[in-house]
């Protein structure tokens, strides 16, 4: 009998039940294991969320993907597998140790030929890409420090085209976003992003609340309109 009095346990059980639709192969499992062994924080997306990102990339026919926040490369691997052999994924990571773990995992999984792991502050890396005039990205996944979400969204627009899809993770913060005076600067970072998005001339979007093994959170789904 399922215990309905413990919602978080129930959320995890439901994720496990539907896990047959997003199975992890040996490389995904190894990527998680390498990140854990390297002491990386356990904040990567869940398998069902990784599969969701992969499906989004496939639906939009992404040939170029930008990821802000590599961590150990777990979400990177899901996304890279949605690309054609000629596709490209650029992923930005601040911490060299995180980037090193990701590169090892991506190489073992056989996708390093289509992934560039760029080390450094994401704001600087985004500006460098814009100055270089790289081709526009079809999908942008933002899963980095929440304090600078508004900046990352804004800078990503210089690397986007009409129709580019932007996904911003962890924006509900267990509901804390409704508190305008919340002391957590990550919550305030999300609120600043929402201020930016409200009536934005180039972005249309929404936020979806989620529950699961990662607790209560949610993501913003945005589309570049012009």
1 has a pLDDT exceeding 80 = no
Q: Which of 71, 92, 73 is nearest to 81 (CA)?
A: 73
In the chain, % of residues over pLDDT 90: 97
Q: Supply the mean pLDDT for the chain.
A: 97
d(CA 96, CA 78): 21
The DSSP annotation for 143-193 comes to -S-GGGHHHHHHHHGGG--TT-EEEEES-SGGGGGG-TT-S-HHHHHHHHH
pLDDT digits (tens, 9 = 90+) for 147-164: 999 999 999 999 999 999
226 has a pLDDT exceeding 60 = yes
Average pLDDT on 129-150 reads 98
200 has a pLDDT exceeding 90 = yes
In the chain, % of residues over pLDDT 70: 99
pLDDT digits (tens, 9 = 90+) for 91-121: 999 999 999 999 999 999 999 999 999 999 9
Q: What is the pLDDT of residue 151?
A: 98
Could you tell me if 90 and 63 are in contact, meaning their C-beta atoms sit under 8 angstroms apart? Answer: no
Q: Under 8 Å CB-to-CB from 55, ≥6 apart: which residues? A: 82
User: For the domain bounded by 7-224, which CATH number is listed?
Assistant: 3.40.50.150
Q: What is the pLDDT of residue 2?
A: 65
pLDDT digits (tens, 9 = 90+) for 29-87: 999 999 999 999 999 999 999 999 999 999 999 999 999 999 999 999 999 999 999 99
Domain range annotation of the chain: 7-224
């Amino acid at each position: 009998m399922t215990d309905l009095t413990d919602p978080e346990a129930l959320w995890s059980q439901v994720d496990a039940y539907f896990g047959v639709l997003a199975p992890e192969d040996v490389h995904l499992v190894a990527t998680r294991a390498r990140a854990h062994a390297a002491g990386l924080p356990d904040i990567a997306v869940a398998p069902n969320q990784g599969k969701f990102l992969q499906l989004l990339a496939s639906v939009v026919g992404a040939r170029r993907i930008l990821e802000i926040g590599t961590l150990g490369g777990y979400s990177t691997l899901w996304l890279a597998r949605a690309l054609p052999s000629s596709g490209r994924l650029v992923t930005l990571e601040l911490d060299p140790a995180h980037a090193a773990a990701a590169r090892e995992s991506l190489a073992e999984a056989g996708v390093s030929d289509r992934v560039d792991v760029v080390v450094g502050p994401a704001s600087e890396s985004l500006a460098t890409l814009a100055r270089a005039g790289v081709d526009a990205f079809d999908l942008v996944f933002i899963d980095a420090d929440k304090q600078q979400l508004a900046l990352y969204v804004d800078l990503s627009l210089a690397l986007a085209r009409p129709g580019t899809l932007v996904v911003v993770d962890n924006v509900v913060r267990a509901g804390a976003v409704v508190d305008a005076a919340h002391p957590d600067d990550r919550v305030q970072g999300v609120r600043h992003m929402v201020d930016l998005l409200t009536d934005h001339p180039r972005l249309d979007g929404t936020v979806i609340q989620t529950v699961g093994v990662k607790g209560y959170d949610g993501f913003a789904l945005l589309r570049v309109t012009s």
